[in-house]
Amino acid sequence: MAMIDKLPIPTVLFSRLLMKVLLALMVILFASLNAAHAKEPANCQTAAECIDRGQRLFDGRGVKMDVDGARRHFAKGCEMDSAEACFALGRSYDGIVGEAKDSIPYYERACELGLIEACNNVSVYLSKYENPTEAELRRAIDVYTKLCDHDIAVGCQNLAQNYLKGEGVGLDEKKAEELLQKSCDLGGFCTINLMWKQPSEQIRPAAVKRLHDLDKECEQKQNPVVCELAATLHLKGDGVPRNEQRGIDILEKACDRGSAELCWEVGKLFVKGKLIAQNIHRGAEFLERGCELGKAYACLDMSDLLRVGVGLPEDKAAASVYVERACALGDIESCPQ
């Protein structure tokens, strides 16, 4: 019989009550410690350092995945007026159910700071508004104008739509026609409602200039987001000469520089045979590198290849190891329940 059962009933009740109180206090203490840890300030001094540490936390690269911690680092960089940090903060919310709308203010700030790709993301959200207010229309017009001025087709296309309908601007079909032609020349849509423009030529000068600018920025700043955009244009050849090898080279170099995200992306391209010739063995090499660099999804894709033996020898034991690695990198859904 347990010692506590030999005590008088009042003493037993008191002892059990005391144990419950102590247990509750321990729970509160641990919760407080976790909350304190969760609110630890970002440990970075420059915007570049904040972005690097934030991305490592977001990817779970070399550290346990910590989305909240990543956001604090991105936010600190954004407070330093770094467009790239604001953009990264926006991306941390993008695509997450119930949180995607939270990305808009950060994309807008990055757009204000001159990162045109952020303006592009803002335009996507603004174009989805139903029955927008005058203020929302004004925001949309400003963003679309900035995009179009920087030779980004979606801005010209959306702006043409506004002029065609007279929303946020005066009704002006001639202006809409000019903007639609520019969108078409840049490789964007060539039609809006019944207004249609024939692409002036297969290779479009404005699109070529845009790609040249992206290539230059990718080489100089080595920004993975910009490099991915440049690589995609080379691979698709939309309005520019298609150059599969150039696109692959850009992604490979970004992977070699340690971009787990782009190792994963080029690995997927090879595995799926999308835009490039399928080569599962080569794709697996990039997925493995992405996994080693801390991209949990790359580990999971390797697991899928090995589990069903797609292009590789079936190896369920090795597949399980990759799932464990994804779990260790912070992908909770891959962890055993």
pLDDT by residue (tens digit) across 56-80?
888 777 778 888 999 999 999 999 9
Same domain, 248 and 288: yes
Residue 1 lies in a domain: no
Same domain, 210 and 293: yes
Collapse the DSSP code of 191 into the 3-class scheme (helix H, G, I; strand E, B; otherwise coil) and give the result: strand
Separation CA 260–CA 20 (nearest Å) = 47
Same domain, 150 and 169: yes
Residue 286, pLDDT score: 97
Give residue 223's domain range.
Answer: 205-334
Same domain, 120 and 173: yes
Residue 69, pLDDT score: 92
Same domain, 156 and 186: yes
Residue 33: exposure state from Cβ atoms within 10 A (0-12, 13-18, ≥19): exposed
Q: What are the residues facing 238 on neighbouring strands?
A: none
Residue 175 lies in a domain: yes
100 CB contacts (<8 Å, ≥6 apart)? 93, 94
Residue 4 lies in a domain: no
Residue 96, pLDDT score: 61
Separation CA 129–CA 173 (nearest Å) = 22
Domain end: 162, 196, 230, which one? 196
Residue 280 lies in a domain: yes
Residue 19 lies in a domain: no
Domain end: 168, 196, 224, which one? 196
Residue 29 lies in a domain: no
Residue 20, pLDDT score: 54
Residue 61 lies in a domain: no
Residue 193, pLDDT score: 58
71 CB contacts (<8 Å, ≥6 apart)? 54, 89, 92
Same domain, 76 and 111: yes
Reported as a single tens digit per residue, the pLDDT across 138-156 is 888 998 998 899 888 888 9
Residue 2, pLDDT score: 44
Residue 59, pLDDT score: 78
The CATH number of the domain holding residue 243 is 1.25.40.10
Residue 303, pLDDT score: 95
Total domain count, the chain: 2
Residue 106, pLDDT score: 93
Residue 310, pLDDT score: 81
Q: Residue 311 has which token pair?
A: 């292009």
Residue 125, pLDDT score: 78
Same domain, 121 and 242: no
Stretches where the chain sits below pLDDT 50 are 1-7, 9, 12-14, 18, 21-23, 25-38, 200-201
Same domain, 109 and 173: yes
Q: Look-up: residue for tokens 């904040």?
A: 50
Question: Which pTM does this prediction carry?
Answer: 0.56
Distance of alpha carbon 155 from the chain centroid:
21
Domain end: 176, 196, 216, which one? 196
Same domain, 264 and 173: no
